[in-house]
Amino acid sequence: MTPLQVAIAVARAFEAIGVGYFLGGSMASSFQGQPRLTNDLDFVVRLRADDVESLKGALGPDFDVDEVALLDAIKRRGSWNIFHLPTVTRVDLFLVKEGEYDAEEFARRQSFEVSPGERIFLKSAEDSVLRKLWWFRAGGESSTQQLWDVVEVLRSQQGRLDEAYVRTWAAKLGLGDLLDRARGLVKTA
């Protein structure tokens, strides 16, 4: 299985048990910008403690799910990972936070055809830009890959992004300077 096939399998498991989700991170920005290889997947989920056993069953024996650790992550609204054993693909599960931006980001998720006949929810391109800028800042602005992903999404989505949304949330999140920097890189690349 490819990482994309693993992502589809995980999305189907969430859908089977009625858990809201979206795929984010590098896989989402690869669909919205420049494709690149990644061996981990990032899902944002509305997972509850009551869902853990059902999720493990829906994923099946090819996935390693540490139920105790996942329950702890749910309790603290944090993150945890599961693994697709045959491919050693790490699947990071981020629990939806309670903040205003987090709620807006989740509400804006979009169904996207990731391969013929296969649709899953992705974060919006605007939110890929904002969240990757946030991670870039949180990482001490040292991950050039995060910034490059932003530049490629901005370049690929020119004329299709909700510019007012991006500008407003970049300002609210204290990322306006990084957004300007990324836009400058789009012009020079």
146 and 118 belong to one structural domain: no
Mean pLDDT, the chain, integer: 94
Q: What is the CATH number of the domain that holds 29?
A: 3.30.460
Q: d(Cα 15, Cα 22) in Å, to the nearest integer?
A: 11
pLDDT in tens, 72-119: 999 999 999 999 999 999 999 999 998 999 999 999 999 999 999 999
41 and 114 belong to one structural domain: yes
pLDDT in tens, 129-175: 999 999 999 999 998 888 999 999 999 999 999 999 999 999 999 99
Q: d(Cα 168, Cα 31) in Å, to the nearest integer?
A: 24
Instruction: Determine how β-strand 89-95 pairs with β-strand 21-24.
Output: unpaired
29 and 62 belong to one structural domain: yes
Share of the chain above pLDDT 70, in %: 99
CB-CB contact of 18 with 124 (8 Å): no
Annotate 143-188 with three-state secondary structure. CHHHHHHHHHHHHHCCCCCCHHHHHHHHHHCCCHHHHHHHHHHHHH
The predicted structure's pLDDT at residue 64: 97
Share of the chain above pLDDT 90, in %: 90
State which amino acid sits at residue 87: T
20 and 53 belong to one structural domain: yes
Number of domains in the chain: 2
38 has pLDDT over 80: no
Beginning with the edge strand found earlier in the chain, give each strand of the sheet holding 63-64 in spatial order. 63-64, 79-84, 89-95, 40-45, 21-24, 118-122, 110-115
b/e burial code for range 47-71 (CB count within 10 A of at least 16 → b): beeebbeebbebbeeebebeeeebb
Reported as a pLDDT band with limits 50, 70 and 90, residue 51 is: very high
95 and 156 belong to one structural domain: no
CB-CB contact of 55 with 13 (8 Å): yes
The alpha carbon of residue 95 and the mean position of all alpha carbons in its chain are separated, in whole angstroms, by: 11
90 and 35 belong to one structural domain: yes
Q: d(Cα 91, Cα 42) in Å, to the nearest integer?
A: 6
40 and 131 belong to one structural domain: no
94 and 82 belong to one structural domain: yes
For 107, residues 6+ apart whose C-beta sits below 8 A from its C-beta are none
Task: Give residue 37's domain range.
Answer: 3-122
Six-digit token string for 170: 């970049």
Q: Which residue among 122, 152, 171 closes a domain?
A: 122
